[in-house]
Amino acid sequence: MAPELFLAVTLIGACFTFNAYLPQRAFGAMVVPSFFAGWLTSELVGHHFAWQLLATVGFVAAGALERWPGWLGLAITLASWAGLYGLAVRAERASDSVEAALRDDLGEGYRDAIDPALATRIEQPLHPGRRLVPFLLFDPEVRRIGALPYAPEHGARGELDVYVPRSGASRAPVLFQIHGGGWIIGDKRQQGLPLMLQAARAGWVCVAANYRLSPKATFPDHLIDVKRALAWIRQHIAEYGGDPNLVCVTGGSAGGHLSSMLALSANDPEYQPGFEDVDTSVAACVPFYGVYDWTNSTQRQKHGGMESVVERMILKTPLATHRKEWEKSSPLFRVHPGAPPFFVIHGSHDSLASVEEGRLFVERLREVSQAPVCYAEIPGAQHAFEIFHSKRTTHVVRAVERFLGWVVTRERSHRAA
């Protein structure tokens, strides 16, 4: 029995490894399972190797190699380990990808343009154990002030958290994080934490906000809420050591859509009912694996689920009769010359949000924007790759910090002039 069981277990492990290289991106039923399997394998390569090694040692000790199925299982395991090694090498390549993206659009000497004090704090090493225990999403050097109401009438969905250095902050730049979840699920404490914790360690003040969710909420409720959260930042963030006039925004997936919409619809009164006079511009935007075209006008989305979800649960109007409404709710159709600097990040193996659509969004931005537009396509990365600590997450977070450091230095220089 041990040889056959060992063979079955090795096939399962090999399927995880194979899926990380060739995830399902086009056909409905398997897209979500393929995402989860590829995501956890790609970002937790060492952990996958560890469980496969322990399983192999245990089965061999139980006599798995006494018959041919056990030897076949061992061969499959060795091939799977070779594949895992390749995934680890690919994760390391994220460092070159993000650095090349910044150099291409900010210039070869962009690092020299970053304030030396900011640059020094950016390169602080991670605390020991973060990669060994990747879901250890807190930092002893960072303090979280939670559940602050910015829209009290919406209960917990109208609350935000502020992350500050325990050593204190004064006129620090602000990073505003918008969570994802398909505009339907998600919470401010679930996403963006590796970036926020590292930024707070480097002296930033970070804000993560909830917003109303569909199907109860109908777009643009979601965007109005994040703009109200930004209005709260303008009014209150100085109390926590932040600079209300130097706010950058980021977010992943639906948060990538909302952060891009926020950056591209600054001061649009349609999305600021009752607070039309508040400045809702941002200094920069860093969307991760966002959705940029609800209409799928160029057929870049590989599977057709997006239109159905938007029509039934989010916009609640049919595309066929309300195309203009769909377009104005899509960042792809909101690009303009006055857009702030963007650093668009997408995984090459994303199963849920089309990387091809991300490329198109960057092309359109670069055609018209007067500000820099950086684009990093992360080799082998799945959707949501930077939600917890990993080698790839570390490289990308460092690059985002450098981009934001460059933006902050430039903004402060312009003010001084």
Q: Which residues are catalytic?
A: 253, 350, 383
3-class DSSP assignment, residue 242? strand
Q: Cα(74)–Cα(94) distance, rounded to whole angstroms?
A: 31
Q: Cα separations (Å) of 88 from 47, 56, 203?
A: 11, 20, 31
Q: Cα(143)–Cα(269) distance, rounded to whole angstroms?
A: 35
DSSP code per residue over 152-198:
GGGGGGGEEEEEEETT--SSEEEEEEE--STTTS--TTSSSHHHHHH
At residue 199's C-alpha, the angle toward residues 147 and 415, to 5°, is 100
Alpha helices by DSSP H, 212-266: 221-236, 254-264
DSSP code per residue over 57-112:
HHHHHTTGGGSHHHHHHHHHHHHHHHHHHHHHHHHHTHHHHHHHHHHHHH-TTGGG
Distance of CA 321 to the CA centre of its chain: 32
End-to-end CA distance of the chain: 77
